[in-house]
Structure 1
Amino acid sequence: MQSKKNAAGKPAQRVIKKYPNRRLYDTDTSTYITLTEVRQLVMDNESFVVRDAKTNDDLTRSILLQIILEEEAGGAPMFTEAVLASIIRFYGHAMQGFMGSYIEKNIQAFSDMQTQLTAQSKSVSPEMWAQFMSMQSPVLQGMMGNYGEQSKTLLTQMQEQMQKQTEQMLGAFGLKR
């Protein structure tokens, strides 16, 4: 399928309308689609927005959360109960704003590392792969080290930001540390 482009030559964002009967309508293909097909749009890196057909409210986040819920219920969940409970505890906490950014940056770093490994593995023969697996690879150690360093840096930034906010709050009440 050829992607549509807007006046600036950029790919146009696909609009999916959600009707009160919970059906999803893809305005690009003029057909009703399932949540599974929306998931495939995500997997294909398609840019889309889900809008309420009546109010035009953006429902994209709730549809993405629904997809995650179905994936989690579908057999091999990604999140343990402990992780989900921890995420819930961050809501309403001073760190809520930072946590989303921290998770997003870590997922991006992990994704970048996976992309690098995939690109490098295309030129690897089965014999080379066996040799790679039999010893600790400096490349893998370097990439994991980079991921670890990025994660550590993000955590340090988050802690510094939290400390600044605490000092500002204490200062607002006339208290000093």
Structure 2
Amino acid sequence: MPDNQGATGGKSGQRVIKKYPNRRLYDTDTSTYITLAEVRQLVMDHQNVVVRDAKSGEDLTRSILLQIILEEEAGGAPMFSEAVLANIIRFYGHAMQGFMGAYLEKNVQAFTDLQTRLAEQSQHITPEMWAQFMNLQSPMLKGMMGNYVEQSQTMLAQMQEQMQKQTEQMLGAFGLKQR
């Protein structure tokens, strides 16, 4: 049975959702049951959401977020191609698995930041400026894209450096040196 404890046990600012064995989701802020679509909307509204098992308190947030992504991907306009999904699967168990997650996270954040800046700056754009922007003549776009590309290149260089270090460590464990 749901309780009225609110966000008790969660970090401040977190919206605590409890998942019950009957697969129902209970929003402790509003004291109501909510749907997966409503959890998705909370995420879209930039709410800090945590999903916990009602009995054990186990954090189920990742599995609920993955379930939302799965529904979005099945909804007709997928974001990920089969090739991208296959490559992501291949990174599980790979020595670079941890680094790949950080790489993706930083690139998605950089892309989000770029999108936010474009939205902020587009409020002051005239139709003529928009035409120039769409033709990739805008210094603003080149500067922002340059920053994104630079961040991506930096992450790639770090990933290559990490792979080099791991190769050296692995070879060193066998008493071999890299040439």
TM-score by length of structure 1 reads 0.90
Which is worse superposed, 132-141 or 166-175?
Answer: 132-141
Q: Which amino acid aligns with 2:129?
A: M
Gaps of 5+ in 1: none
Say if 1:62 and 1:171 are closer, same or farther in 2 by CA, change over 3 A: same
1:16-165 aligned within 5 A: 16-134=17-135, 136-165=137-166
5+ residue gaps, structure 2, are 1-5
Residue 127 of structure 1: how far off its partner (Å)? 3.5
Distance in 1 separating the partners of 2:135 and 2:91 = 41
Q: Provide the aligned C-alpha RMSD in A.
A: 1.8
Figure out how many residues of one structure are paired with residues of the other and give that number: 171
Q: 40-49 or 78-87: which moved more?
A: 40-49
CA distance in 2, matches of 1:55, 1:114: 39
Q: Deviations over 1:50-109 (max 9, x none)?
A: 001111110000000000000000110000000000000110111111100000000011
Contact 2:7 2:29 in 1 (8 A): no
State percent identity of aligned pairs: 79
Deviation at 1:166, TM superposition (A): 1.4
Matching of residues 158-173 of structure 1 within 5 Å: 158-173=159-174
Correspondence for 1:12 = 13
Detail structure 1 runs of 4+ shifted over 6 Å in the superposition. Answer: none
Quick one: distance in 1 between partners of 2:122 and 2:72?
A: 28
Relative to 1, partners in 2 of residues 1:5 and 1:72: Cα closer, same or farther, differing over 3 Å? Answer: closer
Structure 1 position 176 matched with structure 2 position 173: no
Write out per-residue CA displacement over residues 117-173 of structure 1, whole angstroms, 9 at most, x where no aligned residue: 111101112343234335611211121111111101100001101111111122122
Structure 1, 135-144 or 46-55: larger mean CA deviation = 135-144
82-91 vs 164-173, which moves further: 164-173
Amino acid at match of 2:126: S
Q: Is the alpha carbon distance of 1:37 and 1:5 closer, same or farther for their aligned partners in structure 2, counting shifts above 3 Å?
A: closer
Call closer, same or farther: CA 1:82–1:114 in 2, change over 3 Å.
Answer: same
Match of 2:3 in 1: none
Instruction: Please give the alpha-carbon distance, in whole angstroms, between the structure 1 residues aligned to 2:133 and 2:114.
Output: 17
